[in-house]
Structure 1
Amino acid sequence: MSENSANSGAKRRVALVTGGSGGIGRAVVQRLAHDGYAIGVHYSGNRERAQEIVHQVTANGGEAISVQADISDDAAMAEAFDDVESAFGNVDVVVNTAGIMLLSTVQELDFSDFDRMMKTNVRGTFVVSQLAAQRVAQGGALINFSTSQTRLQHPTYAAYAASKAAVESLTLVLARELRGRDITVNTVAPGPTATELFLDGKEQQLVDRLASLSPLERLGTPEDIAEVVAFLAGPARWINGQVVFPNGAIA
């Protein structure tokens, strides 16, 4: 169900950002709102953070609503799309940042964690991708999210990387299935990015080591990733069916 519905009369491009209440999703919302998009800020559980970013966008003269759904629930996500279309008239861009990361070695992985990641990262991405294929307007874009861990092979990331490898395959196929629709479908696969989730529980020595892996000698920022998303959402009409790795040459 939508909250804080904005004026739907303005003719702007419209974006639905899943996981838009925090981390990379939040930076994407801020960047697309700055670029003039009306935004559907999707969240799963943290209503307060979603409302905070909606208020920030509207206070700066933009248009935004919040929509709540479990991305693996096709009926709930269809309602979220309905709410965005009701508020703004259509959906031009879907940015699917929502996902979870639970780390363990293969030998010790709890299969309940494996199932949770597959439900959110694989089924959830498929649900959002299917709805985007059905709803996104001509000239629009779908941008899914993977990870550079699909190339790095770091220990403890096997199940997470496997879930994101599925996202990459889905994206490449869907881009070709949408022939004739003028809709681009790409995946963004960030390297280590300084979000609260990434930094939580990590000692500074480990953070510094990860930052040193890039020749640029720093972690990425959510704003770095949002810059790539903004490019794929709008001007990059000839980039289609690709996995883009914004990771500072870490891989």
Structure 2
Amino acid sequence: LEENAQYSQDGINMSGELSRDSLQLSGSKLFVESANTADLMLVPVRTSGSGEHGVTIALIPGTASGVSMSGLESIARDRQYEVSFNSVSVPTEEILGGVGEGWPVLKRSLDRATALHCAVSVGGAQKVLEMTVEYTKQRVQFGRPIASFQSVQHDCADMVNAIDSARLATYQAIARLEDGLSADREIAMAKVLANHAYKWTTLTAQQLHGGIAFMEEYDLQMWTRRAKVAELKFGTSGPHREVFAQSMGLV
């Protein structure tokens, strides 16, 4: 990810200069998760052209000369890093997919990563639902558990609907990828639904839990922060909705 925050071919602007036997890199990548533990990094750069053309993927050891990392603050408190490259030299044999031909390789990886990330979001939302159902059975107001109130039951039912919709869309996207089929539309659908399910479930859970939801000692605040980061990772819902528009001939 770069400063433009785009998970697309147009978001790759970090340049690489080719010589006869090496590729020279300078620039930085943002929000690289657990970069400090990486033995090898796949770094997409632009060596020529625009769009899908001219994207080159370099294989760079995490300890290579000229590579530095600095931690970034994240609302989820996960390990995110800015990775900087200062005149890093990469031998041409360490280029994945050929010079200027890296986008198809990267696209396949992004598709799979996005679909699997949707599964992570669905799992997080499911955990929040289970916490909320259990809590509403225990919390007593007006002499009875709040789970007995119709409005609370409706909120929990809506949470189930959102989560199951995202789960089924995620299964469909992963199944098509496993079968080697085109899955752009299915991945976009899964990401939009997973974003909504995770975010909406945590916000609804906050309301049903009341004040305890904001306490550091209670895990709901952690899941809420993770839901926000999950919404941003691999693209927010807006760009994925555009995929639907394109599939319907609206763009």
TM-score over 0.5 for the pair: no
Using CA pairs below 8 Å that are at least 6 residues apart, which structure has the higher relative contact order? 1
Higher CA-based Rg: 2
Q: Return the TM-score normalized by structure 1.
A: 0.28
Q: Return the TM-score normalized by structure 2.
A: 0.28
Greater share of helix: 2
